[in-house]
Structure 1
Amino acid sequence: MSTVGIHDLELATTHHVLDMADLAEARGVDPNKYVVGIGQSRMSVPAPDEDVVTMAATAAAGIVERHGTDGLRALLVATESGVDQSKSVAAFVHGMLGLPTTVRSVELKQACYGGTAALQMALGIVAREPGAKVLVISTDVARYALETPGEPTQGAAAVALLVTADPAMLAIEPIAGVATIDVDDFWRPNDSSTAVVDGALSMGAYLSSLTAAWDDFAARGGVPIEQIDRFLHHQPFTKMARKAHMSLARHVGVKLPAEAMESGLVYNRELGNSYTASLYVALASMLDAEDDLAGKRLGLFSYGSGSVGEFFTGIVQDGYRSVRRPEADRAAIENREPVTVAQYVDLHRTVLTSGEDVDTPRVTRAPFRFAGIRGRARRYERTGSAA
């Protein structure tokens, strides 16, 4: 084994989409406040029979279909939109995909950083057992209260990564820089279906975490910044990634060209905030958009409020185009059904509790759906659609 990293990647999102210009009009603000000011064009909105479990299963299904389950030793799901306080999203997905009983299944949480924690755990498993494979899924629905500053930074997506030795897509280099700082910039109390955020504090915490993580990366012998060809930053909204890029450049005293990260913004601009998935949505966006990345070094910054940040690097492999599926990713984004602001508001206000049995309406065209609640337990089923 010479390298460990991401061998394959698949993206999934929701059935519905809301145009930010429509939301701006309904809220009485200039559309450019959303489209230019925070850099968002549209945001994904779940149908009544979609949630983080169905998106996770949909994202993972294609990878399982292409690669099978031989050697699969772990399913690690990162989310801050969990559906149960005890049973993991991973356990639901394990059953929906029919995975072997020998696959350990766990859910991880640390705000938007959880996906990177899962990836690092997966890398360790494969390094210890080079023949093993690990399926990592980041899946989230970003929800803020209606008519609040956070409302235009909602969204939803899931990204599944297959982590193996000698990967075809991205070899992750061993040095990483980490910064953990206890701060109340963003949280979601157990009794709330929407997050609480201090926007100004959160942006400052994000940038402080980035520079601290970079300093740790450099101190541990990470490559000089001049040797990094492209940059991917966590994107609660795409303008934040631009701020991060400029902040890092100032911190290290080096001019970093904007074009070194622009191709990673395309998908997040359309999907909205996907919390744990956003960094890996950016990775998909960049790998889909550029045909000449083989051999290039990517610098990735993951941030989760509360807070944990990590900066790490990876080398794009020669065969990455053979395992990418840009047409499928673009179809998932382009085939969403538009909703009006009134429809979006109705969907947002519908929060199911476990105290009452309910069947959800059949809406999604995805291969899995949330069927409803029976005996206080969530029920999922296949729809018959292809992954």
Structure 2
Amino acid sequence: MTGVGIDDISIYTPEYYYSLHDLVIAHGIDPNKYLVGIGQERMAVPPPDEDVVSMAANAVAPLLTRQLRDTVSTVIFATESGIDQSKSAGLFVHGLLGLNPHCRVVEFKQACYSATAGIQLAADLVRQRPMEKVLVIASDIARYERGSEGECTQGAGAVAMVISANPRLLELHPVSGLYSVDVMDFWRPNHRSTACVDGKLSIDVYLRSLAEAWADYRRKGGLPLGAVDKLCFHQPFTRMAKKAFAALSEAAGSEAAHLDESCYADSQIYGRAIGNTYSASLYIGLCSLLDRCGEDLGGRTIGLFSYGSGAVGEFFTATVKPQYRRHLRAEAHRAMLDSRRRLDGRTYAAWFYDAPSQAEDRVFPQESRGRFRLAAIEGQRRIYAAASSEPARAAA
């Protein structure tokens, strides 16, 4: 059977960030608590004219070719920062980008896990109809109460992936290990704009889900850890990868003897500079690994663990294609991150916490640098538009 997997990948994050150095000063705490303790340096901050739809469209735009527009059969939009209780965020993207009208468009939700569900469904759809392609998008804004323990893990970003037969980047293996349990470790009720989280419980459930998903993967005939060369974990904060690696090593025993922290270190680079991106987190980490690893990963095996609070975990593996480097967007991603602007505390607070409700009709001044932006809200309708070439600039 023809291999199926990730044929193309692109990430997007807002033009602005808030430094964790500034946040520790605002909180009056030891800088090492954030910079070392959770492993974060910056959080991406979306301006008022940027949301999960505009970020998603900006992530997809570099992937678009006429062939992709014609052959995409399904658009799966994964998010826990949804903008409507009925209409899929993916339909806004579909319209903005002029995608093939003869396709299905749906939105998936299960905390930070949902993009993995989308990828697995997409792979099965392509196995049935190898001439078709599926577009999987994950886009989120991680937002917590001001002054809370979760504030330091905020972030925003999107990732877009094309799932196809004969992929150029990564071929997915058919076996995956699963674990689900009903637990209230993290949630966001409909009436809240910020999440509720039991931090200690969430870490405990994450690690238990990893151990259980790994055990299920091996029971189903998955590869021993000795056959895995690199690892990529869901990272609500980058230090979580260290905890995950320790837990997986304990669960796998002697199979993990050949691995050390270098096996996942490159997957942390983008997350450290962006912050938590919920459903996009694992795949921004994967992109970081592929873009930034100095080794040639062609033919090597990557183990991936996806986790979403509430909770669902999945462990699966994939093989990197031999010529993968020809098809990466490493330089574009590096340029995007390097060109961001640092926000002062006042602007950060105004954008993340004090902005007028998006339930009110208003026109948004252009602050974002992407190709697409949220232009207005009129009669409870969200209006998106192509951005002009010269956006307004926030004070640094």
User: TM-score band, normalised by the shorter chain?
Assistant: over 0.9
Structure 1, residues 201-247: CA drift from partner, whole Å, max 9, x if none?
00000000000000100000001110000000000000001100011
In the TM superposition, residue 356 of structure 1 has moved relative to its aligned partner by 2.6
- Any stretches of 5+ residues in structure 2 without a counterpart? 391-396
Q: Does 1:258 align with 2:249?
A: no
2:276 counterpart letter in structure 1: N
Query: CA separation of 1:233/1:169 partners in 2, compared to 1, >3 Å: closer, same or farther?
Result: same
Structure 1, residues 39-67: CA drift from partner, whole Å, max 9, x if none?
00101000110011001000011111485
Report if the CA contact (8 A) 2:71-2:100 is conserved. Answer: no
2:285 counterpart letter in structure 1: A
Report if the CA contact (8 A) 1:366-1:385 is conserved. Answer: no
Counterparts of 2:86 and 2:284, CA distance in 1: 27
Structure 1, residues 77-107: CA drift from partner, whole Å, max 9, x if none?
1000001111111010000001121121111
Counterparts of 2:91 and 2:359, CA distance in 1: 22
In the TM superposition, residue 351 of structure 1 has moved relative to its aligned partner by 4.8
2:174 counterpart letter in structure 1: P
Residue 394 of structure 2: aligned partner: none
Residue 345 of structure 1: aligned partner: 349
1:275 counterpart letter in structure 2: Y
Q: What does residue range 209-288 of structure 1 map to in structure 2 within 5 Å? A: 209-254=209-254, 255=257, 256-288=259-291
- Any stretches of 5+ residues in structure 1 without a counterpart? none
Q: Does 1:289 align with 2:256?
A: no
Report if the CA contact (8 A) 2:70-2:100 is conserved. Answer: no
Q: What percent identity do the matched residue pairs reach?
A: 47
Report if the CA contact (8 A) 1:354-1:377 is conserved. Answer: no
In the TM superposition, residue 354 of structure 1 has moved relative to its aligned partner by 5.3
Query: CA separation of 1:150/1:118 partners in 2, compared to 1, >3 Å: closer, same or farther?
Result: same
Counterparts of 1:136 and 1:310, CA distance in 2: 17
Task: Indicate the RMSD between aligned Cα atoms, in angstroms.
Answer: 1.3
Counterparts of 1:356 and 1:229, CA distance in 2: 51
In the TM superposition, residue 355 of structure 1 has moved relative to its aligned partner by 4.6
Counterparts of 1:39 and 1:187, CA distance in 2: 23
Q: What does residue range 39-118 of structure 1 map to in structure 2 within 5 Å? A: 39-65=39-65, 68-118=68-118
* TM-score normalised by L of structure 2: 0.95
Q: Does 1:362 align with 2:366?
A: yes
Q: Does 1:16 align with 2:16?
A: yes
1:311 counterpart letter in structure 2: F
In the TM superposition, residue 350 of structure 1 has moved relative to its aligned partner by 3.4
In the TM superposition, residue 341 of structure 1 has moved relative to its aligned partner by 1.5
1:52 counterpart letter in structure 2: V
2:154 counterpart letter in structure 1: Q
Residue 393 of structure 2: aligned partner: none
How many residue pairs match? The answer is: 386
1:188 counterpart letter in structure 2: R
Counterparts of 1:317 and 1:366, CA distance in 2: 30
Report if the CA contact (8 A) 1:16-1:337 is conserved. Answer: yes
Counterparts of 2:9 and 2:388, CA distance in 1: 23
1:345 counterpart letter in structure 2: A
In the TM superposition, residue 252 of structure 1 has moved relative to its aligned partner by 1.6
In the TM superposition, residue 352 of structure 1 has moved relative to its aligned partner by 4.5
Q: Which shifted more, 86-95 or 64-73? A: 64-73
Report if the CA contact (8 A) 2:268-2:288 is conserved. Answer: yes
Report if the CA contact (8 A) 1:178-1:217 is conserved. Answer: yes
* TM-score normalised by L of structure 1: 0.98
Structure 1, residues 93-130: CA drift from partner, whole Å, max 9, x if none?
00000112112111100000001011011101101101
2:33 counterpart letter in structure 1: K
2:170 counterpart letter in structure 1: L
2:314 counterpart letter in structure 1: E
Q: What does residue range 116-195 of structure 1 map to in structure 2 within 5 Å? A: 116-195=116-195
Counterparts of 2:358 and 2:305, CA distance in 1: 37
